[in-house]
Amino acid sequence: MDHFQHRDGILFAEDVPLPLIAEEVGTPVYVYSRATLVRHARVFRDALSELKQPHIAFAVKANPNLAVLRLLANEGYGADVVSGGELTRALKAGMKPEDIVFSGVGKTHAELQQGLEEGIGQFNIESEEEGYELAAIARRFGKRAACALRVNPDVDARTHEKISTGKRENKFGVPLDRAAAIYTALAKEEGLDMRGIAVHIGSQLADLEPLEAAFGKVGALIKELRAGGCSVTHADLGGGLGVPYKAGEELPAPAEYGAMVTRLTRDWNVQLMFEPGRVIAGNAGVLLTRVIRVKRGIERPFLVVDAAMNDLARPAMYGAWHDFEAVEPTGEKTIAHIVGPICETGDTFAMDRKIDVLAPGDLAVFRTAGAYGATMASSYNSRGFVAEVLVDGDRYAVVADRIAAGAIMDAERVPDWLIG
């Protein structure tokens, strides 16, 4: 459920009519709903209520806006970060260092050091090599780094191949059959407090079976480690729960996920950790755009909107579907291609889509754009960075300014020796 609803023929975000935001902030603009974010955060937490003190770390990559992170910190969420930049953000937004988990296959020396200096809660180590590097830094600092070892369970998440992470050929985690040996070796390092296992098999999962298969393997590994004398007190089950991108699409509810996890982990005797991203933020945001023109096509018209693949990359990158709706629908429908202004054919949001009839100047939204939307924006074609707005009841705030192409150019120089 979200808080983007039509009232008297106009689409509102909570109690704010979207035409007002378009007028005052301009388009394209991401609009997030505070009530929806809070609702999703609570629904996910409630789904895990049978577990003993689960730790929930929002996957910052899904929506790193400082206001969004602050709101989630207020809900008791921690953060799952994958770079020094995300770590800095999470801290700046008010997340407690001990509630932060550092994931990622390529943490640099400087990033490992930053994590240690900030006193973060857990490093999710993705390789033996990374473990030894962290151990050496920790020793130098006279610290012990709390760590989970991320395993690659070789499970097909049955999602888009580019966001599938748990198959043996993927770069993530250590192979399951080597995990016990690596864990045991790293546990001997005085700089490391090896305390758990982490797993994350992919994103936008449409069914729970692959997760169940992966978690089953983690459970068996925990038993094996304990039998071998290792201590295991934590298990991080990652993120991955999918969200509906098409009206009417059925996906497993957080409650079903929670029930599955509760059943599977009953005798694990660990503190469970989670890294949800999309399920919290996805349906809490829309990308508001204005129609530039309707161009006659050979079979169908091209609806050219002012948002483009640099603002919302998912359709171009993954062929992803985002529902598209007029802000003030007339009730009339047509079939059209929806495209942005960027100079490549990949800048296509939809082909042959049944949509509301729209005219130049009209407003529309791409739905389910709150996760992996603004965060993946670029300034390609010198279009600048898209703005972001957070609505709360009948008020809203611009939570990220539009960064104009000119401001980006301010960081560029032409060396003297090129100026004749």
Report the alpha-carbon distance of residue 363 to residue 11 in Å, rounded.
10
Q: What is the smallest separation between the CB atom of 88 and ligand LLP, expressed in angstroms?
A: 18
Cβ atoms < 10 Å from Cβ of 354 = 10
Only segment of 36-44, 177-185, 237-245, 256-264 that touches ligand LLP (CB under 6 A): 237-245
Contacts of 272 (CB under 8 A, 6+ apart): 48, 51, 54, 55, 234, 235, 236, 237, 261, 265
Give the shortest CB-200-to-ligand LLP separation in angstroms. Answer: 4
Q: Quote the DSSP letter at residue 356.
A: E
Could you tell me which stretch among 41-49, 68-76, 239-247, 393-401 binds ligand LLP (CB under 6 A)?
Answer: 239-247
**What's the sign of the alpha-carbon dihedral 61, 65, 71, 74?**
positive
Segment near ligand LLP (CB under 6 A); pick from 26-34, 65-73, 198-206, 350-358: 198-206
Q: Which member of 63, 204, 265, 348 binds ligand LLP (CB under 6 A)?
A: 204
Decide: is 240 part of the binding site for ligand LLP (CB under 6 A): yes
Catalytically active residues are 343
The yes or no reply on residue 370 touching ligand LLP (CB under 6 A) is no
Which string of x and - marks every residue 244-283 that binds ligand LLP (by CB under 6 A)?
-------------------------------xxxxx----
What distance lies between CA 167 and its chain's CA centroid? 20
Q: According to the binding rule CB under 6 A, does residue 62 interact with ligand LLP? A: yes
Nearer to ligand LLP, 28 or 329 (CB): 28
- For residues 71 to 100, the per-residue mask of contacts with ligand LLP, x marking binding by CB under 6 A and - elsewhere, is ---------x--------------------
Nearer to ligand LLP by Cβ, of 83 and 203: the residue is 203
Cα torsion angle, 245, 250, 253, 257, sign: negative
- Total residues at the site for ligand LLP (CB under 6 A)? 20
Other C-beta atoms closer than 10 Å to the C-beta of 122 total 27
Query: Measured between alpha carbons, how far is 10 from 270 in angstroms, rounded to an integer?
Result: 49
Phi first, then psi: give them for residue 151, nearest 5 degrees.
Answer: -105, 150
Cis peptide preceding 28, ω within 30 of 0 = yes
Chosen residue from 33, 203, 289, 348 binding ligand LLP by CB under 6 A:
203
State the minimum distance, in angstroms, from the CB of residue 101 to ligand LLP: 9
Per residue in 242-269, is it b (16+ CB within 10 Å) or e — as a string? bbebeeeeebbebeebbbbbbebbeebe
Which residue in the set 54, 131, 210, 238 belongs to the binding site for ligand LLP (CB under 6 A)?
A: 238
CB of 157 to ligand LLP, least distance (A): 10
Half-sphere exposure of 346 (CA within 13 A, CB side): 11
Q: Please choose, out of 29-37, 236-244, 361-369, 379-387, the segment that lies near ligand LLP by the rule CB under 6 A.
A: 236-244
Q: Coil, strand, or helix at residue 320?
A: coil
Confirm or reject binding of residue 396 to ligand LLP (CB under 6 A): no
Q: Which long-range contacts (C-beta less than 8 Å, at least 24 apart) are formed by 399-403?
A: 399/32, 399/65, 399/66, 399/67, 399/68, 400/30, 400/65, 400/374, 402/25, 402/26, 402/29, 403/379
State in angstroms the smallest separation of the CB of 24 from ligand LLP. 28
CB 158 → ligand LLP: shortest distance, Å?
A: 13
The neighbouring-strand residues paired with 122 are 101
Closest distance of CB 176 from ligand LLP, Å: 17
Provide, rounded to whole angstroms, the least separation between the CB of residue 346 and ligand LLP: 15
**Per CB under 6 A, does 27 bind ligand LLP?**
no
By CB under 6 A, tell whether 103 contacts ligand LLP: yes
Residue ranges of the alpha helices (H) in 159-266? 176-187, 209-227, 254-264
Q: Which residues contact 18 (CB under 8 A, 6 or more apart)?
A: 10, 11, 12, 31, 286, 288, 327, 363, 365
The binder of ligand LLP chosen from 59, 72, 286, 390 (CB under 6 A):
59
**Distance of closest approach, residue 217 Cβ to ligand LLP, in angstroms:** 17
**Stretch 156-185 residues interacting with ligand LLP (CB under 6 A):** 163
Is 182 strand, coil or helix?
helix
The residue type of 196 is G
Residue 177 in 3-state DSSP? Answer: helix
Phi, psi dihedrals of residue 209, rounded to the nearest 5°: -55, -50
Of the pair 237, 326, the CB lying nearest ligand LLP is at 237
The site map against ligand LLP for 328-367 (x = CB under 6 A) is: ----------------------------------------
Residues that bind ligand LLP (CB under 6 A): 59, 62, 80, 103, 163, 200, 203-204, 238-241, 275-279, 314, 318, 372
